[in-house]
Structure formats: structure tokens, C-alpha cells
Structure 1
Amino acid sequence: MSNRPDLVIANGTVVNSFGRQHAHIVVRDGRIEQLIDATEAAPEAERTVDAAGMLVIPGGVDGHCHVAQVTGRFRTLDDYRITSTAALWGGTTTIIDFGIPRDAHETPLEAVLNKKRLAEESRCDVALHGSVVRWDETVPWQLEQLAAEGVRSVKMYTTNRGSTMADGDTILKVMREMVRLDGLTYIHAEHDPIIADCTEQHADDGRIGIEHLHRTRPELAEEISVRETLAMAEYTKAPVYFVHQSTPGAVDLVTEARRRGQEAYSETCPHYLTLDDTVYGSQFPEWYACCPPMRSAETVAALKDRLAAGAIHTIASDHSCYDLSQKRERTDDIRAMPHGLPGVETRMPVTFTAMRERSGPEGEDALEAFVEVFSAGPARINAVPGKGTIAVGFDADLVIFDPAETRTVDGGALHMGTDFSPFEGKTLTGWPAVVISAGRVVVDGDGFHDPGAVGRFVARKGFTEHRDALAWPQESRPATYAAS
């Protein structure tokens, strides 16, 4: 019986969030067994992939995906087979989805267990967030059960009254429970009274079609909600994570809270870094129906500045797979149309394209920072064991990344189960050449090699269990540390 490793990625430049090295990566049983300096000979293996002249980065961790999501009368058109396949095509090897109650009859625990069953057909690894809409006496017990399942975060919405919105009392009580259970509170922050009033005024004036979306959800609504939520998090001492922040003001509020010692994190999405509100005056404004909406060009530029300064901790897709027929059903009324954009497959090139604009030739100066927001940060903040780093003991989730490859986006040629991309026709730089998930080559020059329903459910650890890793200064983070 051969004792050769299963796979060797030879001669590549390994890029982690904390530095880079020329090395051979030795893989056995789906994990990284060794990193060998590239000046030495690569060991023989069952399969060798030569990465000479290429970069090898950790597989992406997308901390914000919606798969097979039911919201009101709309359901996204994907399933875990489709979305996990698209994720792998885009260099993402772990997705974190949400168990959001479909209606008042589905409990938070039932919503997560349903998603966990659906995820059995995934091609890549899957973790889950819970969600609470309304408080009752069973919620503490349900959150305990979720923690036992390895679901250590709960999302709540401060808007969307009548569907997913949680009131302030619920948010405060859930934050307390998450502290007790060593978890992380996720927040969609938009101030509902402002949005409801602004939307009503626009409706009264007959300006309620998709071309007016950005005017009905002002930046002020997002920033006031972030401020209020941070106050509740400070009061309860709860770690808090803000999804899809679209304004520099919202990011700055989180930065200020961190300076006061709060555990607070900012996520943004590729579309907020690359698209502005002029898209709502374009030929196809329905392609950009999402909440928060796109902001002004000045706001986009300032948000990029915050990313370049390291104030944004993760970039997630907020993937929601509606198609154009669903989007176009009610373009006359933004209150009746589905919001959300497909993006799990394009997260890598859109993010890298945005970041390389502020760095040296071919994005050379942005590589470690890119790995941080694409892979390492999402894994570390969400306490996903074994992910986000190329080090001994970690999962062999790897991407041979070409920072110079340029492609023009064709939404119909992507694999997300929909018929459009909000980045249609845009030229993007930085694409995966080879994708390896759990030690299996799933994407290479020959296309996609379907591994079957091999994706694992990843039980996450408690937030403070990763406290030491979270606290390490970027420049002193070790090249090898415990994967579990």
C-alpha cells in the first residue's frame, strides 16, 4: 500500500493574510499535512499540480449566502447543488447560509434544521446562521439547541416590518442569549420607521418604481440603525457583526466602537464597492434591486477608502438567486418585488478588481488584504474551524489564483441558476485557475469535476474560543496555528 500523499501543489507562492512563502503543499485525507520550502524537492504524490509562477490562496469563505430562500411569495430559484457548484467555480469552498423562518409558523430551530437537511446535496462545505424574528419563552431553549448543532450566530433585521423584522426588545434579549452561549449577533441594519415613511412618501407621489429605489432607503437610515444597534451591543456586551454595510458612515461607527473596546465587525459586498446609484437610471434597473440599494459614486469611493484602510473586515456576496422574470413581475412597485442579487460566483474577481485599483501593479500590494477579507477574516470571525488559512492541520481548501487573468462577465455563462449578473459586461481581473475542495480538484482547465454531494456541515465554535486568533496583530500572526 502506497504511503504517498494524495495531492501535492508544487512550486506555488502561498499567500495567507499574514504573509507569503514559496512552498509545496502536501495534502492527505483532505487536510494539509506539510508545507515544504520550494527550494527542496516536491515529494511524490498520487497527483501533483504544478503551480509554478502562480499564487495559492485559501479557499474562499462566503459568510453571507441565501440558498433556497423563501421570502413572502418568492423563493430563490437555486438549491445547494446549484449554489455550491457556482461557489466552487468562483473559488469559494465554504458558504454560510441562513435558517430564516419562512413565516410565523416556522420556528428558528425548524428553519435551521430544514436548511441543514437541504444542505446534504452541497458540493462544498456549509455552515449556518440562525435567525430570530420575534421573541417568546421558547427562544432561549431554541438558541441552546442551535449552539449544540454548531450554529453560533443569529441574524436579525431592523427593518422589513411584517416579515423578517425583529423589534428592539427581541434584539436586546437575543443579544443577551448570544453572550450566554458564546455566539455572534448578525444585524441587517436599516432604520425601519425612516424607510417606511420615506417609501410611503414616494408612493404617494407616484415614485415607487424600481428606478426610485435608492431614494427610498437613505444612507441616514442605515447609519442611525447601526448607531442604535451598537448601543444595545455595548449595553449587553454582545459581539455584533453588521452585514452588507453600504456607507462609509456606517463603517466609521463600527470603527469608533472598536476603539472603545467593543467587538464589532463590518461586512460589505462586491456590488457596493463597484456599482453606484446611476444603475437605477439604466436600461435594466431591476438588475440592481437590493437592500440597501446602491449609493452615490462619492459614497462608493469613500467605502473603497475604508476597505483600503482595513476598516472593513469581510466581503460577502449576499447571494440571492432570483431571475429576471421574478424581478420584472412588479418593477412598478419596489414594495412588491424581490430584492437580492446573485453573486457567489463573482465575489472573487469583483473584490480583487476593486482592491487592486488602490495597490501596485497586478494588485501585488493587495494580496494579503484580499485573502483577509475573502477567506481568513470570514473564517476567523465566524469561528469556522479549519478554514481560511494555508497551514498544517487546516482543510485542504485551496485556490490557484491568477491575479492577472481578465474576463468580461457574461451572466448567461455563469453557474448560479439565474439568467443575469449585476456585473454583466464588466471586465474583471483575478480569477481562479484551479480550485481544490477538501483535497479534491474540482475546477481546473478542463472545467468542473463534480465531486457529488460531499459537502460537509461545519459546526462552528464559540466566539471567544477564537479570541486569541482574533486579537493577533496581522503582522505577527504565525504561519502555523491550531486548525481546530
Structure 2
Amino acid sequence: MTTHDLVIAHGTVVNSFGRQAAHVVVDGGRVTELVDATEPVPAAARTIDASGQLVIPGGVDGHCHVAQVTGRFRTSDDYRTTSTAALWGGTTTIIDFGIPRDAQESPLDAVLNKKRLAEESRCDVALHGSVVSWDETVPWQLEQLAAEGVRSVKMYTTNRGSTMADGDTILKVMREMVRLDGLTYIHAEHDPIIADCTEQHAADGRIGIEHLHSTRPELAEEISVKETLAMAEYTGAPVYFVHQSTPGAVDLVTEARVRGQEAYSETCPHYLTLDDTVYGSTFPEWYACCPPMRSPETVAALKERLAAGAIHTVSSDHSCYDLSQKRERTDDIRFMPHGLPGVETRMPVTFTAMAAGSTVEDFVEVFSAGPARINAVPGKGTIAPGFDADLVVFDPDEKREVDGGALHMGTDFSPFEGKTLSGWPAVVVSGGRVVIDDGGFHDPGPVGRFVPRNGFIAHRDALSSVQDGVSAISL
């Protein structure tokens, strides 16, 4: 009789395209079989009983910033810390950014540096590149990145003087990404509007953190999305918009898709659950991020777009500053670091936000399957034979209260402090290893793999028959 490495027995397996009661069989770090739950449980070295619980694919967080240096600030984490926190939160693959820290670091060097740092990761890691300014070496550098399996490039339409790319650079990089079968990532906020609005607020003495939301209007995000979509249409480039915070921005992407463009919307848990009243709270510095939180009406409309399927992924935009960094310059938002810790709480915050009006299949789509598919990450996002054994077992009815001090992200706060959430993982399997169970965290050591990504169009075409049960071993 064959003895398998691991069996998750008697659970309800939920993929983005359906569910079934099944025993999940794992060998060699991959799912090898789904056995109908009415059949006997296959023999295994370890069997986990998931009766009454859901089994979903491990999360893929397509937007994380690990050990990120921006100006004089560096996030307070490293790959060991962030990957551990990701696993605690049911995420088994993170995608980080190689963003040049200054003009002396090239896009290629920034990615290779992150790849070296990622050798300490406990979960699998993929990477995005980033281009700030164009020169004659950029096409060659992008070719080298593609050869490394880095098939997307992020550019910022704001943050002049640091990470901002001008329109010429964005358009030229889009052309190169089409040539290399890649994906263009965009942080879309209209810099002239933001710069002017911020200057006006500073002149009026309204430049502290409590005014952040009024210095970055919704119009600035939406006009930048509109301009970028025009460049993507002109070049034929697939484009992915990070952290969209307004229904208007999402609607622009939807309209582009109706016209036949390959365009995608990402949002973040904080935009689905927090609104701009947080800037009048006791600790407004907990919510310093760009774009800022929006009005309650905007948040409600954004959730409607998510329920309707117009938002394709929910990512954390994890940026792990601590409160000492946040509080250095709360008097002037131009000089404080922006970004929130969230890789560990992405699963329960998103699941709770989607509890009304969405199915668990919808949740799996934005938490795991969509990020894996759109980012062309092979072997991820689905529980099926041939896919990596990245699995999460949880009881959707279990509730826990967020205690920022008890989380594992390397910082001393959470923007979700005190909130009661559902959808916390009880068991996490990463690459066939049980890393979270009722005994806590079992540190696997630096076993996380760097995952080279496929070409955007090539991966989409290869996955077209996965829902019919085709194995992904060859992908």
C-alpha cells in the first residue's frame, strides 16, 4: 500500500471555480490527487482532519514591499520576518518589488539585490522590477529581468524626485513589456494635482497627518488611471493598477476591458474596511498611506465593485514601518513614511469584507487564484493535481480580534487593531510542509523558493483548460 506524505482529509476544497468534498493528497511538495470524501482516506505519514472546515489554495500576495529603502527610511522587516508573517496569515507566496533606492542603483541591480535577500524567506517569493528613468540600457536590463523570471515592471506616476517615472518612460517601458510578454504595473496618482494640492494645504497650515486624505483627491487617482489606460491602449500593453481606492478608477478599468484591453484592478484590505474618519482618530498616523483612506460612501461603492467581480485581486501593499518612524513627522505628511503593515491580516480582513454578497469562491479568486494567474506564477492559486501543495484550512465561522502586538510582521501596530474578523487560518501547508497548526508555527527554515514567472500571454493561454482538470505539472 502506498503511503503518501500528507493527506488533508474530509474538508470542503474550494477553488475559484467550484468546490467539492475531498481528501487532498500531497507528495513531494505537490498535490497529487483529490479523492472524493466518500472514499476511504488514503494512507499517509500525516493525516489532518479538516471535517467541517474549508480547504483553499495558499494565498498569493502580489504586492509586498520587503526591506524597502525609500529616502532615509527603511522598513523594519526582512524576508525572514515578512515571510513568517505571511504564513501566519495564510499567504504562501509573496511578490516583492526591486525598486531602485536611488539614481545609482539600476533596475536590474535592485532586483538582484532583492533576490539575494529573499534567500532567507520561509515562503516562496517572486519579484517585480521597477523603472524610474529611461536610458539606453533599459531594454537590455528588462531582457535580463525576463530571463530571471521577472516579468512585470512597476512605475509610479507620482513621487517626483524619488520613484516617479515620466510619461515618456512609462510609454517606452510599456513597449518593451509587450515585446517581452510582460505586465506593466502602475501606481496611478496624478502628480501635478497632488503636488499643487499639497502645496496649497501647506500654505494654509493644514499639512499634518490629520489632513492626508484631503491632499490626495480621488480625481488625482482617476485622471492618472485614464491617462495610463490611453498609453496602454496605444502600445497594446497589458496593465495592472495597484491599490485602487475609488469606484471611478475601477470603472475606468472595466470600461477599458469592454473595449478589449488587458487591464486589471487591484485593491487592498484597508480600502475595503477603513474610511477617512480614521484621520480624526486618536492615532491618525496608523493610517498614513497613499492613496489615503476615502469617504465612507466611496468605501461602500468600492465594496460593491468587488462583489460584482470588477476588482481582480486584493493585495496587502505591505510596508512595514513602525510607530517611531511614523511619528517622527506627523506634523508634515511630506516628510513621513507612507505604507501599512498588512501581509498577515490580508486573509481575514478580505474574507470578512466579502462575507456579505460574495461566495468563498469569489474570495479565493482575489486572494489566490487571480493574483497567481494574472502575475503568471506557475503552480499556484489552485488545488488540483500538479499544483504546488500550498493549502489553508480554516473555519469560516471562527472569529478573532486583531491584537497588533501579537502579530508577527516586525512592527508594533496594526491599522485593524481591535477589529473582530473571520477567516483566520488554522492549518497552513506551504510546499507540502505543515508550517501552521494547533501547535503554532513550525519554522521550516529558509526553504522558500524564488519562483520565475512565465510570460503574461503564454501563461494565460496555458492555463485556459485548468478548470477542466488539466494538470499544471508542465506549466
Query: Which letter does structure 1 place at the counterpart of 2:18?
Result: G
Whether the 8 Å CA contact 1:97–1:127 is kept in 2: the answer is yes
Where in structure 2 are the equivalents of 1:389-428 lying within 5 Å?
A: 389-428=382-421
User: Partner of 1:442 in structure 2?
Assistant: 435
Give, in angstroms, the shift of residue 368 of structure 1.
0.2
User: Partner of 1:48 in structure 2?
Assistant: 47
Query: Which letter does structure 2 place at the counterpart of 1:150?
Result: G
1:38 and 2:31 correspond: no
Query: Which letter does structure 2 place at the counterpart of 1:174?
Result: V
Task: Give the Cα separation in 2 of the matches to 1:431 and 1:25.
Answer: 20
Identify the range of structure 1 (66-75 vs 49-58) with the bigger mean alpha-carbon deviation.
49-58
Instruction: Please list every run of 5 or more consecutive structure 2 residues that lacks an aligned counterpart in the other structure.
Output: none
Query: Which letter does structure 1 place at the counterpart of 2:427?
Result: V
Q: Could you tell me which of 353, 364, 369 is aligned with 2:362? A: 369
User: Partner of 2:468 in structure 1?
Assistant: 478
Per-residue CA deviations over 1:51-102 (Å, capped at 9, x if unaligned) read 1111100000000000000000000000000000000000000000000000
Whether the 8 Å CA contact 1:156–1:171 is kept in 2: the answer is yes
User: Partner of 1:347 in structure 2?
Assistant: 346
- Tell me, what secondary structure is at the counterpart of 2:425? strand
Per-residue CA deviations over 1:298-337 (Å, capped at 9, x if unaligned) read 0000000000000000000000000000000000000000
1:81 and 2:71 correspond: no
Whether the 8 Å CA contact 1:18–1:479 is kept in 2: the answer is no
User: Partner of 2:139 in structure 1?
Assistant: 140
User: Partner of 1:121 in structure 2?
Assistant: 120
Task: Give the Cα separation in 2 of the matches to 1:358 and 1:96.
Answer: 29
The CA RMSD measured in Å over matched residues stands at 1.1
Query: Which letter does structure 2 place at the counterpart of 1:430?
Result: G
User: Partner of 1:228 in structure 2?
Assistant: 227
Identify the range of structure 1 (402-411 vs 179-188) with the bigger mean alpha-carbon deviation.
402-411
User: Partner of 2:423 in structure 1?
Assistant: 430
Give, in angstroms, the shift of residue 3 of structure 1.
4.5
Instruction: Please list every run of 5 or more consecutive structure 1 residues that lacks an aligned counterpart in the other structure.
Output: 360-365
Task: Give the Cα separation in 2 of the matches to 1:99 and 1:197.
Answer: 29
Q: What percentage of residue pairs aligned between the two structures are identical?
A: 85
Task: Give the Cα separation in 1 of the matches to 2:195 and 2:411.
Answer: 30
Q: Could you tell me which of 371, 374, 385 is aligned with 1:378? A: 371
Query: Which letter does structure 2 place at the counterpart of 1:478?
Result: D
Whether the 8 Å CA contact 2:156–2:186 is kept in 1: the answer is yes
Whether the 8 Å CA contact 1:123–1:455 is kept in 2: the answer is yes
User: Partner of 2:320 in structure 1?
Assistant: 321
Whether the 8 Å CA contact 2:52–2:395 is kept in 1: the answer is no
Aligned residues: 474
TM value normalised by structure 1: 0.97
Query: Which letter does structure 2 place at the counterpart of 1:417?
Result: G
Whether the 8 Å CA contact 2:402–2:420 is kept in 1: the answer is yes
User: Partner of 1:362 in structure 2?
Assistant: none
Where in structure 2 are the equivalents of 1:202-217 lying within 5 Å?
A: 202-217=201-216
Whether the 8 Å CA contact 1:120–1:455 is kept in 2: the answer is yes
TM value normalised by structure 2: 0.99
Task: Give the Cα separation in 2 of the matches to 1:401 and 1:388.
Answer: 16
Whether the 8 Å CA contact 1:330–1:336 is kept in 2: the answer is yes
1:9 and 2:8 correspond: yes
Task: Give the Cα separation in 2 of the matches to 1:358 and 1:325.
Answer: 39
User: Partner of 1:463 in structure 2?
Assistant: 456
Per-residue CA deviations over 1:106-156 (Å, capped at 9, x if unaligned) read 000000000000000000000000000000000000000000000000000
